[in-house]
A and B are shown apart, each in its own frame.
Chain A
């Protein structure tokens, strides 16, 4: 079973700053990795699929990169609405698995 480890657990930044979130897989998942954003009381929303493809309607300030075991989600300039919890998810190996999340909070 693939284990996804996200770091840091919590990231404290100010609006306008850039953010880099990491997701590391316990074995290679090729590029079949997605990123989700979840705000309180809401369902997860897909941001990035297959490592680097923005989902429909996702602003260009969100970007993803990586392959194999190491992946990053970058938010170029934080907007107030970007402060949320972010999860990665792999779909290469059964069962599909999620990371434990990174909380992006306002500094």
Chain B
């Protein structure tokens, strides 16, 4: 069974950084693109970033471009989201989401349970 387990969320002050991790199992990790999608009460569901199976294609939402970095380590079945210069607008539950192909087709077939991020002083 596909499993995506996020970690690394927490309370962080504005302007600081946080690194989220997602460990995958139950499928051939290096064959699939992975995305981060966040959900907040005010903004609903929002796609944040995506990375192709081989890391050649990396895409970001305009709201996080230049501040967030997505990466993956296929040897560890893991994807990461380095979040810098955080603000209250980034407060949300962050989901790791498996795509249905190796490319960032935004075909969100399987979701993790999410890790919460709260940005507050």
A interface residues with partner B (beta carbon < 8 Å): 34, 36, 42-46, 49, 55, 87, 89, 91, 94-98, 100-101
User: A42 vs B114: C-alpha distance in the bound complex, in angstroms?
Assistant: 9
Main secondary structure of the interface of B (DSSP, over half): loop
Which residues of B have CB within 8 Å of A44? Answer: 45, 95, 108, 111
B89 at the interface (CB under 8 A from A): no
B59 at the interface (CB under 8 A from A): yes
Count: A-B pairs, CB below 8 Å = 44
Which residues of B have CB within 8 Å of A34? Answer: 107-108
Which residues of B have CB within 8 Å of A87? Answer: 44-45
Establish whether residues B61 and A45, one from each chain, have CB atoms under 8 Å apart when the complex forms.
Answer: no
Establish whether residues A98 and B45, one from each chain, have CB atoms under 8 Å apart when the complex forms.
Answer: yes
Given contacts A44-B45, A97-B47, A101-B44, contact A91 B106 (CB under 8 A): yes
Establish whether residues B111 and A95, one from each chain, have CB atoms under 8 Å apart when the complex forms.
Answer: no
Given contacts A87-B45, A98-B46, contact A49 B95 (CB under 8 A): no
Establish whether residues B112 and A43, one from each chain, have CB atoms under 8 Å apart when the complex forms.
Answer: yes
Interface residues on B, range: 10 to 19
User: Nearest-CB distance from B113 to chain A (Å)?
Assistant: 5
Given contacts A43-B95, A43-B111, contact A95 B45 (CB under 8 A): no
Among residues 87 to 111 in chain B, which have CB atoms less than 8 Å away from a CB atom of chain A?
95, 100, 105-111
Tell me the nearest residue of chain B to A46, going by C-beta.
B109
Q: CB within 8 A of B109: which of A55, A96, A98?
A: A55
Establish whether residues A49 and B107, one from each chain, have CB atoms under 8 Å apart when the complex forms.
Answer: yes
Among residues 6 to 39 in chain B, which have CB atoms less than 8 Å away from a CB atom of chain A?
none
Tell me the nearest residue of chain B to A100, going by C-beta.
B44
User: Nearest-CB distance from A46 to chain B (Å)?
Assistant: 6
